[in-house]
Amino acid sequence: MLANPPEQQTKSEKQRMAAQKKPQQRKGFRTNEYVVYPAHGVGRIVSIETEEVAGASLELFVINFEHDKMTLRVPTEKSESVGMRKLSGDKIVKKALDTLKGRARIKRTMWSRRAQEYEAKINSGDLVSVAEVVRDLYRSETQPEQSYSERQLYEAALDRMSREIAAVQKIDEGIATSKIDEVLSKTARAARPAVTPEAAQAAA
């Protein structure tokens, strides 16, 4: 069927085309909004589309994860059950940064068990839980180096945390990472035991 010429377009068709140009909204989310998807972190809703699946219409959020060069399609009806959420508010960001100032909590269990717990926290979509992983796996210059697997988990958690803080505060991701590093470094320096004059003289 041929499309109607522009001059023959009905009023309803013009309204529909105008509506398509406006940001769409479903389930409290709208196009061009940054959201957090637990398993992948921060992404942007680029569109809301409808596809035919097994003869039925399925409405989908199309989410772009620029950092990972990946696009994900999430059924709008399942957005809540999969844990998709809006960006954290300023209070949660502050709580996450304050979490970095606490003492690392390392359980005396096998590394494989702890690694699973860290991965679960990273993929929970909860910014404070991600901050706990960053805090627990951080190593200052005076501490023993991380193992390869510890480093991987640390960098994954740091990446998730930096990306969300950058999106919330509308700053560059590198600046967000620097903010986190600064908090961690200050905390590590404050935790070092003070060197007494006697100890300094003995070490000389």
Domain spans in the chain, listed from the N-terminal domain onward? 23-85, 88-191
CATH number corresponding to 23-85: 2.40.10.170
Q: Which CATH architecture has domain 88-191?
A: Up-down Bundle (1.20)
Please, which residues bridge with residue 41 across strands?
A: 37
Antiparallel, parallel or unpaired: β 56-65 and 41-53: antiparallel
- The number of CA neighbours under 13 Å toward the Cβ of 202 is 5
* In 63-110, alpha helices (H): 90-99
Residue 127: enclosing H or E segment and its boundaries? helix 127-137
Position 5 pLDDT exceeds 90: no
Residue 11, pLDDT score: 52
Asked if 2 contacts 55 with a C-beta cutoff of 8 angstroms, the reply is: no
* Residue 1 banded pLDDT, cuts 50, 70, 90: very low
Lowest mean per-residue pLDDT among 69-73, 98-102, 138-142: 138-142
Distance CA 166, CA 53 (A): 36
Global model pTM greater than 0.85: no
Position 173 pLDDT exceeds 70: yes
* Winning range, highest mean pLDDT, from 9-18, 101-110, 150-159, 190-199: 150-159
Position 162 pLDDT exceeds 60: yes
CA-CA-CA-CA torsion sign (154, 133, 66, 57): positive
Residues whose CB is less than 8 angstroms from the CB of residue 61 and which lie 6 or more positions away in sequence, other chains included: 26, 29, 45, 48, 73, 74, 75, 76, 79, 84
